[in-house]
Amino acid sequence: MRRLPKPRTVEARASLFKRVLAFAIDILILDLVVLGPLKKLVSGIVSDGGITATTEFLNSNPEIMNKMIILSAISGVLMLTYFTVLELMVGQTAGKALLNLYVKGKKRITLWQALLRNIFIIPMFPFVLLWVVEPIFLLFSRRRLLEILTKTETVQQVRVP
């Protein structure tokens, strides 16, 4: 009987679709579990009138604006902690784990690498600028700008015959 060669797995850059899906799962988890209690505090501020009405309202209420800034900073730190801790400890967030994606560097990623590659999650200036820059980089080079800067990448196992 002829023996077939064992299938091999190699690491390849994660597909755009899987990355977006993994990120969406992570955001969903964060939204439900981590940000849920904080969202309750702002339920009346973020009005039904949409972003324009909310912005006008916040501009005319500096005290509430300050509270919102504090809340944004806290939410940002919690989300950053989620991505940083999990990528540092297990190389995967929940979303990435479900889709078999993981983060790697040249060696094991360090705290600073994990922190810096996820800094875009903080919903405050100047980090919000990355919300435009990162998808563009991801679309054209399949690596985010912060991944390039931190010398890390998100990969997946691909079977080769």
Partner 1 sequence: MNKKYGKWTVIMITIAGLGIASMMIAWALENMYDTAFGGGNVAVIPIRGVIVTQTTDDIFDVGSTSSETVLRFIKDADDDPAIKAIMLDINSPGGSPVATDEIARAVKRLNKTTIAVIHDVGASGAYWVASSADTIVANPMSIVGSIGVYSSYIDIAGLMDKYGLKYNRLIAGEHKDLGSPFRNLTISERTILQLKVDKIHDIFIDAIAENRGLPRQRVEELATGIFYLGVEAEELGLVDMLGTKDDAVEHLEESLGIKAELVEYRKKETVLSLLSRIIGEQSFLVGHGIGSGLVRQRLQIFT
Residues near partner 1, by CB under 8 A: 29, 33-38, 40-45, 47, 57, 60-61, 63-64, 67-68, 70-71, 74, 78, 81-82, 85-86, 89-94, 97
The helix (H) or strand (E) run that includes residue 146 is helix 145-150
**Smallest gap from residue 137 Cβ to partner 1 (A):** 27
Q: Which residues contact 159 (CB under 8 A, 6 or more apart)?
A: 7, 8, 9
Instruction: Give bridge partners of residue 10 from the DSSP assignment.
Output: 158
**Smallest gap from residue 108 Cβ to partner 1 (A):** 9
Nearer to partner 1, 53 or 136 (CB): 53
Which one, of 137, 80, 142, lies nearest residue 111 by Cα? 80
Nearer to partner 1, 47 or 135 (CB): 47
Nearer to partner 1, 93 or 156 (CB): 93
HSE value, Cβ hemisphere, 13 Å, CA-based, for 85:
7
* CB-CB contact of 78 with 91 (8 Å): no
**Smallest gap from residue 161 Cβ to partner 1 (A):** 27
Nearer to partner 1, 93 or 113 (CB): 93
8, amino acid identity: R
**Smallest gap from residue 82 Cβ to partner 1 (A):** 6
The strands making up 8-13's β-sheet, listed across from edge to edge, are 8-13, 152-160, 101-105
